[in-house]
Structure 1
Amino acid sequence: MSKRLLPLALIFVAVGISTSFVGPYLALFLSDAVHAGPIRTTAFLIAAPVAGVLVSWLIGRVSDRRPIRRKLLITAALAGLAGTALTAVVRDYWLLLAITVTLTALAGTLFPQSFAYARQVLQSGDPKKAALGISTLRTLFSVAWVGGPPLAALVLAGHGFGWTYGLAAIMYAITVLIVLRWLPEVRKPTTDGAGDLPDAIAPVPPRSTLFLIVAGFTVVQTAGTLAVQAMPLYVSTDLGGSIRSAGLILGLCAALEIPLMLGFGVLTTRVPSRTLILIGVCCAIAYHAVAASAGSIWVLVAAQPLNAAAIAAISGLGISYMQDLMPGHPGRATTMITNTFTTGQILAAPAFGLAQAYGFRLAYAMNLVLCAVGLVLLISARHAAVASKREADALLPL
């Protein structure tokens, strides 16, 4: 098992670097390099995550039926390699859109499928430390995002978008080589408490429970996305600060997230992941309440530990939590939870429009409501699961 953890760690760093090189600058790329215009840029930014959600969902359902996860990793990395390499040279809007909704969308499955593969590897060792391992790998992805955007900005300023996308393509190529050389196929998805049950009948929570969990994570992720989008304008227009101040606040939060993710991962060996996630959502509620009422930049600075704790718990433990609930379906479970972030990006767009019209303080007030709703949904999911189990027990023969 340990021989596969280092290659997996390298994959998460490579994927983090590749996505952090292109993700933050996509709108700028469409505006400056493609000259797309506001309407076509908006359409592109909506089509890209929608395609990503659909493709990830389809691949997630297929991935748990057969031992093909290694092939899926290779396919996704090759799609990323082709997609970024083509984007480095193509400047036609419609051709780029076609590349994005096909190759780039397929490349997006590399992230959840890597976590699914990692889960199976970790589960074959010490199952009690699986959540810690997943949280650690998620931390490496975050570390790559701390250094990736500033480095990409330097490359972009010196050489243009061709180089940034070219370097992202190299990261995908490295991923392909790592999988081919060091990652064998995992023969059978983990079943945790399912014993030797076939995957088709491995225990899965009721659909009502899964719906409540996914809905809860989605609204909380929407709030997190909206908070990041609104921060620069909130600081500069409502609090009288500068864009640089907003960047420092976001950087402080990112720096705090890393040790907190590791800390929460360690706590999972003693405290249930669900409990830690609920604590994280409570931290999010507290943070957005403070942000919505902040009178100065320093109030936001002081509140960043709450923000970082919320992100660390929700993003760092959400994957392992869902995998625990669906032990025989790691690919499907991981895809469901990672798609909540992408869906949150889509839903945050109209909310951001409201904040533009009525003031960016409204963004954090909406976030407060969203996180409160998310907390209710996640708590209700527990009650739904308990009620479903009671119904099932009542139907058992005496």
Structure 2
Amino acid sequence: MNFKRWLPRRFNPVFAAFLIVAFLSGIAGALQAPTLSLFLTTEVKVRPLWVGLFYTLNAVAGIIVSFLLAKRSDTQGDRRRLILLCCLMAVGNSLLFAFNRDYLTLITAGVLLAAIANTAMPQIFALAREYADHSAREVVMFSSVMRAQLSLAWVIGPPLSFMLALNYGFTVMFLVAAAIFVISALLVWLILPSVPRAQVEISVDSPPIAPISAWRDPDVRLLFLASMLMWTCNTMYIIDMPLYITADLGLPERLAGLLMGTAAGLEIPAMLLAGYYVKRFGKRNMMLFAVAAGVLFYAGLALFKFKAALMVLQLFNAVFIGIIAGIGMLYFQELMPGRPGAATTMFTNSISTGVILAGILQGALVENFGHYAVYWLITLLAMLALWMCARVREV
């Protein structure tokens, strides 16, 4: 495999900074997300329905804020400064969770801070896309390598999260996350570039420019709905799995971190291979292959309940998430040329919308039918996503 076409000939501090910022932001997020349901259940002491409501409101706020910021970021202002602001809000959010155990405060002030903070990642990828275009780098591989940093972060983050939370407490865990966000903010401030807006030239052979409302494009709409369902499945799994393996299967709590870390580790080669072979097989076929792997993964969770099977199934999980996380974002960008911020945010908002559905469905299902029902439902949702994805045109 020849990567010379996208690697810089000499060390490039900006290139390295993008990778490090993506990695550190991913680490900080991976410290908080895997144990959030456990934190709300054990520390804040709320019922499963209120855990699901927290995820839902957090996602709703994230969609509203990120859409507003994305629209502005593609037309005016310095994207780098917006990323810096988001990192600082992430520091404040981590400190709030470190020292507060009041549900009402967390679901109001915490959700608002998180909504702004979570906008950082799509803006980092949008800036990276502009930087790659501006410096004539191979966009697909550059994006895939950046996305691989998030997967690497999730190899380390979940096991570290459970280790810190179970051995030293949630306060220490959130303080570590805050410190990492501070380092990320410093790198953004000192090293990341301010890339001038590219003017999109229209020619006879160029693809049509996305309309003001991308939702009017049936392919964008279908891809958004399919992606939403994929991330609904993934989020329901993340919310429910730490509770399911301890409450229903009687397995140790640390296994949740091990499962997430294993999947993230396997995602890295899956993501890099997808970025390399996407030109040969096409984005649509790669996505179909990924979602089919997701169907097998979730069906396996419903059928197998012992540790060895859960570990083996992470291979299918890695193929699923590794491909849709990297290729899915590029798919939106290709369907919406000239609008990297809006396209990336459309992708991340499909994740947020999936989180909304996941929070509602997981909480309601567990309250009424128990944890086991979750995995049959997400298998059906993954099959529906596969059907929708098959109807999106290739680009």
Shorter-chain TM-score tier: 0.7 to 0.9
Q: Which AA in structure 1 matches 2:160? A: L
Counterpart of 2:18? 8
Given that 2:161 and 2:257 are in contact with CA atoms closer than 8 Å, whether structure 1 keeps it comes out as no
Return 38-47 or 335-344, whichever deviates more.
38-47
Q: Could you tell me how far apart the structure 2 residues matched to 1:300 and 1:84 are?
A: 31
Change in 2 beyond 3 A, CA 1:296/1:166? closer
Counterpart of 2:347? 337
Change in 2 beyond 3 A, CA 1:60/1:276? same
Structure 2 unaligned runs (5+)? 1-7
Q: Matches of residues 1-398 of structure 1 in structure 2 within 5 Å?
A: 2-34=12-44, 41-126=51-136, 129-157=138-166, 159-189=168-198, 191=200, 194=202, 202-204=209-211, 206-231=216-241, 248-294=258-304, 298-352=308-362, 353-354=364-365, 357-358=368-369, 360-382=371-393
Q: Could you tell me how far apart the structure 2 residues matched to 1:85 and 1:190 are?
A: 40
Give deviations 1:20-45, integer Å, cap 9, x for gaps: 22222334444554455666555433
Partner-residue secondary structure (3-state), 2:156: helix
**Structure 1 position 333, deviation (Å):** 0.7
Given that 1:283 and 1:310 are in contact with CA atoms closer than 8 Å, whether structure 2 keeps it comes out as yes
Change in 2 beyond 3 A, CA 1:285/1:154? closer
Q: Could you tell me how far apart the structure 1 residues matched to 2:259 and 2:102 are?
A: 37
Change in 2 beyond 3 A, CA 1:66/1:100? same
Given that 1:216 and 1:377 are in contact with CA atoms closer than 8 Å, whether structure 2 keeps it comes out as yes
**Structure 1 position 337, deviation (Å):** 0.7
Q: Which AA in structure 2 matches 1:367? A: I
Return 293-302 or 327-336, whichever deviates more.
293-302
Given that 1:67 and 1:188 are in contact with CA atoms closer than 8 Å, whether structure 2 keeps it comes out as no
Change in 2 beyond 3 A, CA 1:34/1:222? closer
Change in 2 beyond 3 A, CA 1:371/1:69? same
Q: Could you tell me how far apart the structure 1 residues matched to 2:326 and 2:188 are?
A: 24
Name the structure where helix makes up a greater proportion of residues: 1
Between the two proteins, the alignment pairs up a number of residues equal to 378
Given that 2:34 and 2:238 are in contact with CA atoms closer than 8 Å, whether structure 1 keeps it comes out as no
Counterpart of 2:5? none
Given that 1:67 and 1:185 are in contact with CA atoms closer than 8 Å, whether structure 2 keeps it comes out as no
Q: Could you tell me how far apart the structure 1 residues matched to 2:361 and 2:99 are?
A: 34
Q: Could you tell me how far apart the structure 1 residues matched to 2:370 and 2:43 are?
A: 31
Q: So what's the TM-score if we normalise by structure 1?
A: 0.83
Q: Which AA in structure 1 matches 2:385? A: G
Change in 2 beyond 3 A, CA 1:156/1:244? closer
- Identity, in percent, stands at 32
Q: Which AA in structure 2 matches 1:373? A: L
Give deviations 1:96-144, integer Å, cap 9, x for gaps: 33322322210110011001001111122346x2121112111111211
Return 326-335 or 220-229, whichever deviates more.
220-229
**Structure 1 position 311, deviation (Å):** 1.3
Given that 1:64 and 1:189 are in contact with CA atoms closer than 8 Å, whether structure 2 keeps it comes out as no
Q: Could you tell me how far apart the structure 1 residues matched to 2:56 and 2:165 are?
A: 24
Q: Could you tell me how far apart the structure 1 residues matched to 2:251 and 2:376 are?
A: 20
Given that 2:156 and 2:261 are in contact with CA atoms closer than 8 Å, whether structure 1 keeps it comes out as no
Change in 2 beyond 3 A, CA 1:363/1:194? farther
Partner-residue secondary structure (3-state), 1:270: helix
Q: Could you tell me how far apart the structure 2 residues matched to 1:29 and 1:235 are?
A: 16
Aligned Cα root-mean-square deviation (Å): 3.1
Return 19-28 or 298-307, whichever deviates more.
298-307
Q: Which AA in structure 2 matches 1:76? A: C
Return 372-381 or 151-160, whichever deviates more.
151-160
Give deviations 1:214-238, integer Å, cap 9, x for gaps: 0011111112222344445665677
Given that 2:287 and 2:323 are in contact with CA atoms closer than 8 Å, whether structure 1 keeps it comes out as yes
Partner-residue secondary structure (3-state), 1:155: helix
**Structure 1 position 290, deviation (Å):** 3.9
Change in 2 beyond 3 A, CA 1:71/1:242? closer
Given that 1:20 and 1:148 are in contact with CA atoms closer than 8 Å, whether structure 2 keeps it comes out as yes
Change in 2 beyond 3 A, CA 1:32/1:298? closer
Return 209-218 or 173-182, whichever deviates more.
173-182
Change in 2 beyond 3 A, CA 1:376/1:133? same
Structure 1 unaligned runs (5+)? 196-200, 386-398
Change in 2 beyond 3 A, CA 1:106/1:292? same
**Structure 1 position 154, deviation (Å):** 3.6
Q: So what's the TM-score if we normalise by structure 2?
A: 0.83
Q: Could you tell me how far apart the structure 1 residues matched to 2:49 and 2:376 are?
A: 28
Q: Could you tell me how far apart the structure 2 residues matched to 1:154 and 1:309 are?
A: 26
Q: Could you tell me how far apart the structure 2 residues matched to 1:179 and 1:6 are?
A: 12
